[in-house]
Chains A and B, each alone.
Chain A
Amino acid sequence: MASKIRVVLRPVKSILVRFCPFESDVESTRKFLQYINHKKIQATNRNCEVTADVRHDGSEPLVDVRFADGERLIMKGANLTTIEMLTALGARCNAKDVKEEPKSKKKNP
């Protein structure tokens, strides 16, 4: 289940989720938004802003993640499942976390 995927949002600055609810391919994006707003994941980083942009222009669902080091991850959720999106985000967050740990260990001997 998607609740088993632990996403650590520490390196994330903001997440923007844009979708058009009257389209038929927004289910995974909406579920992704639901999981992102879960208290456990929100507890990993209180400063992360999650914005939902609801439109009605027939555009495809989009998830735009901005990281603290300036990197951007754009996921087009029309043909992705929720679990794929969560694992992709989780993998990138863990990778960034792992990079940060040795740096912080070097700074504090």
Chain B
Amino acid sequence: MAALRSVAPWRGGWLPALQLVRHGSKAVTRHWKAMHFQRQKLMAVTEYLAPRPAVPPRCLGPRREAPQEDNGYAQLLRRQVEEAFRDNRMIAICQYNSMPDEDLVLMRHYLRKHNIEVKFVLNEIVRPVLSQSKYKNLLPLFVARNILLVSPEAKVREMLRVLKGVPQVNLLGACIDDTILSRQGVENFAKLPPLEAAQGQTVGALELLPSQTSSLLQRGSAHLTALLDQHIHRLQTGETGSTAEPSPAQSSGAH
């Protein structure tokens, strides 16, 4: 409903303009109010136009992404992995399927008793480290979740015994003394005798042939010496002086 408010007519004059005011609407409203036409025109004229680049971006060459900066934490983890590979004689790689926590703690405890440490590793950290080191053949092992069992000594039998009691950790392979072994290789390594016994066996085997050769060479002279001894013994018991002279002549002739 339009309320007509006519300006009070002055004496001698009459303003023809009537101010029409719509009912209820003030300047500042909670709903969207249509702008005055002049304001609409002003807004249309002063709209923002984005500046166009002189050369369209399609004509420029492909942008080369700046190499991502290395995260400090990633660098630290990489350094730890490198140290682990450098300082330990035995590194076993196992697949880790989720285990209850208390079993994990027990396993860690038993392995720690044999000086074997359990390390959880991330594949994205280990893969670049390995690809630049000499352990390239271990790369296909690092897929899915893995753990490393590292130790400065090679106590393979104890490790296998502990792992047999844990079905959720599967041994995939190991690197012992810079030699990459598969699971079968690790089991064979565990069955080997200790180093001193192996060395003794090798020395014994090598010694056999030369000892046979030396006994063969000495057989002739040893036989002769034995015969002469026997002869002297017989002469001494027989007490015949004439046979004593030709026997030293015979012995010098044989030499």
Q: List 14 A-B contacts (CB under 8 A).
A: A21-B140, A22-B140, A24-B140, A26-B143, A27-B144, A33-B95, A34-B144, A37-B98, A37-B168, A50-B167, A54-B170, A56-B173, A56-B182, A56-B185
In the complex, are the beta carbons of A54 and B171 less than 8 A apart?
yes
Alpha-carbon gap, A51 to B140, bound state (A): 21
Pairwise interchain contact B141-A22, C-beta atoms closer than 8 A: yes
Bitwise interface map of A from 26 to 39 toward B, beta carbon under 8 Å scored 1, else 0: 11001101101111
Interface centre among B97, B98, B137, B171 (most CB of A within 10 A): B97
- Of A21, A31, A39, A54, which is within 8 A of B98 by CB? A39
Q: Report whether A30 and B95 are in contact in the complex, using a CB–CB cutoff of 8 Å.
A: yes
- Quote the shortest CB–CB distance from A24 to chain B (angstroms): 6
A33 to B170, CA, bound (A): 10
Contact B184 A55 (CB under 8 A): yes
The answer on a CB contact under 8 Å between B144 and A30 is yes
Chain A neighbourhood of B145, CB < 8 A: 34
Check if A68 is an interface residue, CB within 8 A of chain B: no
Complex partner residue of B173 from A21, A34, A36, CB under 8 angstroms: A21
> Which of A23, A39, A51 interacts with B100 by CB under 8 Å?
A39
Is A74 close to B, CB under 8 A?
no
- B183 close to A (CB within 8 Å): yes
Residues of B within 8 A of A (CB): 95, 97-98, 100, 137, 140-141, 143-145, 167-168, 170-173, 182-185
Interface residues of A (CB under 8 A from B): 21-24, 26-27, 30-31, 33-34, 36-39, 50-52, 54-56
The CA-CA distance from A31 to B144 in the complex, in Å, is 6
Closest B residue to A29 using CB positions: B144
17 new A-B contacts, CB < 8 A, other than A22-B182, A56-B183, are A21-B172, A27-B143, A27-B144, A30-B95, A30-B144, A31-B144, A33-B144, A34-B144, A34-B145, A37-B98, A38-B98, A52-B170, A54-B171, A54-B172, A55-B183, A55-B184, A56-B173
Minimum distance in angstroms from B197 CB to a CB of chain A: 27
Pick the contact of A54: B137, B140, B144, B183 (CB < 8 A).
B183
- Shortest CB-to-CB span from B28 to chain A, Å, is 51
Question: How distant is the Cα of A31 from the Cα of B98 in the complex, in angstroms?
Answer: 12
**Residue on B with the closest CB to A26?**
B143
